[in-house]
Structure 1
Amino acid sequence: MSAHWLNALTDLETRGIPAVLITVAATDGSAPREAGTKMVVTPDDTVGTIGGGTLEFRAIEIARQMLTGKQGPSLRKFPLGPSMGQCCGGTMTLLFEPQRPDLFTVALFGAGHVGKAVVQVLSALPCKIRWIDPRPDEFPDHVPPGVEIEISNAPEREVSSLPDDAWLLIMSHSHALDLGIAAKALQEDRFSYVGLIGSETKRARFIKRFRELGLNEAQIGKLTCPIGIDGVTGKHPGEIAIATAAQLLRLREAKRTTLRVVDESAA
């Protein structure tokens, strides 16, 4: 982890690790560090220092307690006397600011040309990517940060291990695999997006099979096929990747800004 707090926060954001940024907001009298000094605390690590000793130990403890809940920023004043085991005699006011990465999980089934292009585009976005394929030789030797490779001989079984609200992109080398993965995902009915690469003809054929497998119309209606934002019809892997990333971002933004209305009289 970088020794600089700003680089550290950027790195943690990329890796989806929550942290608390501690800033010396003010000092009065003698203090081990001046106002503006910063320190980053994660569940397992720290970057920087606000002066060491009991004060720093207590600040780390408070920060990690904050990471276990949903607390917002807080300002706390500490006397640097006998009660803190410090002899400075002044006071320090610390600002605690939780930093919770706004990441979303994308499960990408398929390591072909389009899958590789999708990973390159999505890896620049605030997301975690689980890249799943039964063919180990199809994966590149190096993948971007935030990408986790999973080699599975039964990719459809990996669906159950995905977190709720994950975004699924299905583009394997086999129509049979695509069908099994999509059917499982639609049946579980807990994901933000189930996208299947293919044409309208493929969509119609798959919908017929979904009905034969017992999926209801509400479940089937959650399928997105073809994938990609409207108006982009190119077939180049890079074009498909960009159009798909744009669609995910647009849908995600709409989901985040949707007004939740609660009828209290129905409670």
Structure 2
Amino acid sequence: MGFDLDALRAAVAAHGRVTRVVIAEVRGSSPREVGTAMLVWPEPDGVGQSGTIGGGTLEHAATGAARRQRAARVLSRHALGPDLGQCCGGAVTLLSEVFDAGTLAVLDGEVIARPAGGDTAMPLAVRRLLAAARAQGVPPEPQLVEGWMVEPVHRPARPVWIWGAGHVGRALVDVLAPLPDMAITWVDTGAERFPAAVPAGVTTVPAADPARLVAHAPADAEHLVLTYSHALDLEICNRLLGHEFAFAGLIGSATKRARFRSRLAALGHGPERIARITCPIGDPTLGKHPQMIAVGVAAQMLRSGRHISNDKELSA
């Protein structure tokens, strides 16, 4: 959770004037946590929006208020039960800020701290919080401190490499790209393999010889291998086994799993190393439709937190 500067910059570039609504404080039960934000902008036929602060009525009211907002910043408090008729028994404080190219240009650094109301001097508590974050190298949690909103800049920390831009690769990107912590690198053999519109935050890499890129992947990356070619899949797996990775998953069947296990062994990889490649990926009980495979893979990634787990490995 953090201040997504890239998303805000993209929205301002596309729409000019954008209101960012962030949950600044929570008391009791609430639909979302502190730091959750959405972007709102006017459109000819209504209101444009990305992200969600949850809560149904709360979000509906906040969106309408953001559309009408003229002040640079508005801090508002909402009792979810008495004010909005929601079942949550808590209360939330929302900070709504209007951004354009000018106000966006002054945002800088790894932590964004600013007054939530009028322009006031930075409180000592905020100074100490920022100093501790710099000294320890650990970003602070999003929080409202003595009238100032403090948020770390969001940096996706989970590198995911998707090898292949076919039907399953496209479905996976569509499902995974909106998740807040995914830094997706999408690789295929040519630019024409990718769709015309690629989700924000996804880096496409056309390469005549994709397997050579394995050496450039971070050691903590998670890899999903699903190219159009079994030979290319095999070479990528071969290179991965000579490289470090957090997870490697291969699309396939029991037959493909057995053949790859044999071929990787012939290439000199031992059983324990080969067992690190999971095949098949996804949940086979969901079916073989690309979106079903993508949903299964995404569910496994979210459940495991850091690694995809599957009991059908190449060594099985």
TM range (shorter): 0.5 to 0.7
TM-score when scaled to structure 1?
0.65
Alpha-carbon distance change, 154 to 109 in structure 1, aligned in 2, over 3 angstroms: same
Within a 5 Å distance, the mapping from 1:109-148 to structure 2 comes to: 109-126=163-180, 127-148=182-203
Alpha-carbon distance change, 228 to 135 in structure 1, aligned in 2, over 3 angstroms: same
Unaligned runs of 5+ residues in structure 1 are 15-23, 25-34, 78-91, 256-267
Q: Which amino acid aligns with 2:297?
A: T
| Residue 176 in structure 1 maps to residue 231 in structure 2 | yes
C-alpha displacement of 1:101: 5.2
Alpha-carbon distance change, 163 to 254 in structure 1, aligned in 2, over 3 angstroms: closer
Within a 5 Å distance, the mapping from 1:1-267 to structure 2 comes to: 1=8, 2-4=18-20, 6=22, 10=37, 42-43=108-109, 49=115, 55=122, 63=130, 66=133, 69-72=137-140, 96=150, 98=152, 103-126=157-180, 127-188=182-243, 190-229=244-283, 231-232=285-286, 234-252=287-305
Asked if the contact 1:73/1:95 (under 8 Å) is kept, the reply is: no
How many residues are treated as equivalent by the alignment? 218
Q: Which amino acid aligns with 2:250?
A: L
Deviation digits for residues 109-146 of structure 1 (CA, Å, limit 9, x no counterpart) = 00111111111111232312111001211211111122
* Aligned partner of residue 246 in structure 1, secondary structure: helix
C-alpha displacement of 1:98: 3.9
Deviation digits for residues 153-190 of structure 1 (CA, Å, limit 9, x no counterpart) = 121122222222211010111111111111111221x3
* Aligned partner of residue 260 in structure 2, secondary structure: helix
Q: Which amino acid aligns with 2:192?
A: D
- 2-side partners of 1:111 and 1:74: how far apart? 36
Alpha-carbon distance change, 134 to 37 in structure 1, aligned in 2, over 3 angstroms: closer
Unaligned runs of 5+ residues in structure 2 are 1-7, 9-17, 24-34, 40-50, 52-74, 76-92, 98-103, 309-316
Asked if the contact 2:161/2:185 (under 8 Å) is kept, the reply is: yes
Q: Which has the higher helix share?
A: 1
Alpha-carbon distance change, 109 to 53 in structure 1, aligned in 2, over 3 angstroms: same
* Aligned partner of residue 242 in structure 2, secondary structure: helix
Asked if the contact 1:109/1:171 (under 8 Å) is kept, the reply is: yes
TM-score when scaled to structure 2?
0.56
C-alpha displacement of 1:246: 1.6
Asked if the contact 1:186/1:194 (under 8 Å) is kept, the reply is: no
More deviation, 162-171/93-102: 93-102
Q: Which amino acid aligns with 2:231?
A: A
Larger Rg: 1
The CA RMSD over aligned residues, in Å, is: 4.0
Q: Which amino acid aligns with 2:266?
A: E
- 2-side partners of 1:172 and 1:11: how far apart? 35
* Aligned partner of residue 6 in structure 1, secondary structure: strand
